[in-house]
Amino acid sequence: MMSHQQHMAPPSRGSVNGFPHRKLEKESSGRHDNKTNLVRSSSGGLSGAENGIILGHGSHSRDRLIYVLTQLIGHHVDVHVKNGSIISGIFHATNSDKDFGVVLKMAQVIKDGSTKGQRYAADIIKKPETMIIPARELVQVFAKDVALGGDELPKGPGHDKRKDLLIDSAISRTHYLEERELERWAPDEGDSECIELEKYDRKGNRSWDQFETNAALFGVKSTFNEEIYTTKLERGPHMRELEKHASRIAREIEGEDTKDIHLAEERGLFLGDDLDHDEEIKYSAVRRDTDNSKYKSFTNVPSSTHHVDSFNRTVNIDPKDSLACSSTMGEESSSYTFDNTDSSAIIQANNVSQPKFDDPSNKPFSVGENRLDKKLSKDNNESLDNRKLQPENNLSAGVRPLISEGLDGPPSSSQPSSSGQGFKSPETPDSTVSVKPSVMEPMTSSQRPGSSTSSTSERIAANSVASAPGLSPSSSIGSLTSEKSTLNPNAKEFKLNPNAKSFTPSVSLRPPNPPASDASYYYPNNMPAAPLGPGLPVGMTFPPAYGGQPVMYNPQPGTPPQGYMHPAGPQVRKL
């Protein structure tokens, strides 16, 4: 049995059992015999031979001991001592050269074994202090939650060992770059039914009424009146026809061929596997100028030279400018290609890149022009408005918002044909007729190749002519894709005044819409009461043909077109 008395080895010996001498230092204070403490013999009683062997072990085991004790530094430990007391503190040091006395910091005696009954020392609260426990007293050092296998990898800032706070860098630190094969998500079995975001009944009508729900759940009574925002649909006997017509047009448009990749994708047309088209090109909302970096703005209604001239107007419009309906002009085909030669003002409502609207046959007479002209001629306004708008208010959803677009743009934008002024309310029949077809065009979708447009316009023209002889060209604008004009049939007839004052385009072209969000046709949805200025037929509204954003035109006679400035567009000096 090893005694725990310290062995004294003659100082003359170079080493005790192979251990070099060391004088014990302060380790055990107050113990006189400690002063003579030297390194204990490793065996503590065993023979030298064993010592030798044990030494061999000893150094290894000592290493282990030292390793463990070092790992304890900084931990809260309880040290049990001979008399039964327990001292709790932070492990600070051990005397590894000697017999492993222990130094604790911020230590307190939590259990006093010396007093009778060994009660806990909680009653006597003392300030924690540094304590040294001599090896002699030491019975046990007990530490909880020690990572003997080494601590986890440091987590970077803060060395936070808490698992619940995993910051990104910590997560990625432990995760070496493993590329994994990504699999497409597929719903689990039985889950597919739950995925319905929208509830549609058989007919495709939404069976969800938010207003009802809100009223039921929250008692919120809505004051929403759809008619404030859109044309009141007159659900009369003509309704069906109008609807049919509109849907036909819609189908036509939607089935159209297009070069625009976005539209094509939407329509399911395969444009050919263009390897250049990575996801960014396909889906990004950033419009990158391809070659037509010229931002086409509304500045000048491209009152085409021809038509304009035919009307003897002085137009200081640069025919090259395109009437930018869409805010996202940038695109080559974007819309307003005011084709000099064609003298067609094609108003493209969307930012779809469309090939230029080359339609020699029906030069879209700058619809805007007409309208703008109307704007200028104050007399025209109301009458025109009235006349133009009414028949058209049945535009159904099938009607492209474009129409509204077209309407919006040019009018609000520059009043290109200053000559517009010349247009008095009563339209000359010929001008009407001749103008109409062209007028039609811009209105129809920008993407429409000339043919369809013209056909439409012809139809419309025919219609309008039929229905409202002498309807101003603008009226046809409204009825772009519908056969019934929403224009007010009772409006005064528009008559072109060749001697009208010339007009310099003014500011605020209302760019139709923020780009990519609405794929093709968009409403200037941020303009509920579009300051379209005079000349715009009142009540010309386009029911949500696309994206459901109805815009109500409330042209205020006499109000110069302002307000909507294309954010990126050139600012045109106001007239």
Binder to other proteins among 11, 20, 84, 558 (CB under 8 A)? 84
Binder to other proteins among 8, 147, 216, 239 (CB under 8 A)? 147
Binding flag, residue 563, other proteins (CB under 8 A):
no
19 DSSP β-pair partners: 16
Contact of 405 with 350, CB cutoff 8 Å: yes
Specify the residue, 64 or 282, whose C-beta has the smaller distance to other proteins: 64
Binder to other proteins among 154, 255, 360, 469 (CB under 8 A)? 154
Nearest-angstrom CA–CA distance, 377 and 420: 7
Binding flag, residue 157, other proteins (CB under 8 A):
no
Q: What is the CB neighbour count within 10 angstroms for residue 336?
A: 34
129 DSSP β-pair partners: 107
- Binding to other proteins by CB under 8 A, coded x per residue (else -) over 343-382, reads ----------------------------------------
How is residue 81 written in tokens?
């001592």
Q: How does 449-469 read in b/e, with b if 16+ C-beta sit within 10 Å?
A: bbebbbbbbbbbbebbbebbe
Binding flag, residue 110, other proteins (CB under 8 A):
no
Contact of 371 with 535, CB cutoff 8 Å: yes
In whole angstroms, the minimum distance from the beta carbon of 39 to other proteins comes to: 8
Binder to other proteins among 4, 173, 240, 282 (CB under 8 A)? 4
Specify the residue, 138 or 477, whose C-beta has the smaller distance to other proteins: 138
| Window contacting other proteins (CB under 8 A); options: 59-67, 369-377, 484-492, 518-526 | 59-67
Binding flag, residue 119, other proteins (CB under 8 A):
no
- Binding to other proteins by CB under 8 A, coded x per residue (else -) over 13-42, reads ------x-------------------xxxx
Binder to other proteins among 13, 29, 142, 320 (CB under 8 A)? 142
Contact of 335 with 345, CB cutoff 8 Å: no
SS3 assignment, position 244: helix
In whole angstroms, the minimum distance from the beta carbon of 521 to other proteins comes to: 60
SS3 assignment, position 390: helix
In whole angstroms, the minimum distance from the beta carbon of 179 to other proteins comes to: 25
Cα dihedral sign for 52, 54, 57, 61? negative
Contact of 542 with 314, CB cutoff 8 Å: no
| Window contacting other proteins (CB under 8 A); options: 27-35, 143-151, 529-537, 556-564 | 143-151
The single residue listed with the structure tokens 């014990």 is: 24
In whole angstroms, the minimum distance from the beta carbon of 510 to other proteins comes to: 58
Binding flag, residue 64, other proteins (CB under 8 A):
yes
Binding flag, residue 116, other proteins (CB under 8 A):
no
In whole angstroms, the minimum distance from the beta carbon of 21 to other proteins comes to: 14
| Window contacting other proteins (CB under 8 A); options: 24-32, 73-81, 325-333, 470-478 | 73-81
* Per rule CB under 8 A, count of chain residues that contact other proteins: 60
In whole angstroms, the minimum distance from the beta carbon of 96 to other proteins comes to: 9
- Binding to other proteins by CB under 8 A, coded x per residue (else -) over 214-233, reads --------------------
Specify the residue, 123 or 430, whose C-beta has the smaller distance to other proteins: 123
Binder to other proteins among 36, 71, 361, 562 (CB under 8 A)? 71
Binding flag, residue 282, other proteins (CB under 8 A):
no
| Window contacting other proteins (CB under 8 A); options: 153-161, 243-251, 297-305, 420-428 | 153-161
How is residue 192 written in tokens?
């597919």
Contact of 317 with 505, CB cutoff 8 Å: yes
Longest dimension (CA), the chain: 134
Cα dihedral sign for 336, 339, 342, 344? positive
Binder to other proteins among 24, 34, 38, 92 (CB under 8 A)? 92
| Window contacting other proteins (CB under 8 A); options: 68-76, 324-332, 345-353, 379-387 | 68-76
Residue of 379, 384, 365 lying closest to 310 (CA atoms): 365
Nearest-angstrom CA–CA distance, 372 and 72: 87
Specify the residue, 125 or 195, whose C-beta has the smaller distance to other proteins: 125
Q: How far apart are the two ends of the chain, measured CA to CA in Å?
A: 113
Binder to other proteins among 52, 65, 340, 358 (CB under 8 A)? 65
Binding flag, residue 514, other proteins (CB under 8 A):
no
The string of DSSP codes covering 75-118 is SEEEEEETTS-EEEEEEEEE-TTTT--EEEEEEEEEE-SSSGGG
In whole angstroms, the minimum distance from the beta carbon of 25 to other proteins comes to: 16
In whole angstroms, the minimum distance from the beta carbon of 42 to other proteins comes to: 4
Specify the residue, 19 or 553, whose C-beta has the smaller distance to other proteins: 19
For other proteins, the binding residues in 158-187 under the rule CB under 8 A are 159
H/E element holding 476?
Answer: helix 473-478
Binding flag, residue 127, other proteins (CB under 8 A):
yes
How is residue 304 written in tokens?
């085409």
H/E element holding 69?
Answer: helix 48-72
Binding flag, residue 144, other proteins (CB under 8 A):
yes
Nearest-angstrom CA–CA distance, 256 and 448: 7
Binding flag, residue 274, other proteins (CB under 8 A):
no
Specify the residue, 72 or 367, whose C-beta has the smaller distance to other proteins: 72
Q: What is the CB neighbour count within 10 angstroms for residue 211?
A: 11
Nearest-angstrom CA–CA distance, 429 and 229: 33
Q: In what order do the strands lie in the sheet with 541-542?
A: 529-530, 551-553, 541-542
In whole angstroms, the minimum distance from the beta carbon of 154 to other proteins comes to: 7
Binding flag, residue 498, other proteins (CB under 8 A):
no
CA angle 393, 266, 192 (to 5 degrees): 105
Residue of 546, 522, 429, 541 lying closest to 477 (CA atoms): 541
Interface residues toward other proteins, by CB under 8 A: 1-2, 4, 19, 39-44, 46, 54, 57-58, 61-62, 64-65, 67-76, 80, 84, 90, 92, 99-100, 105-106, 122, 125-128, 135, 138-154, 159
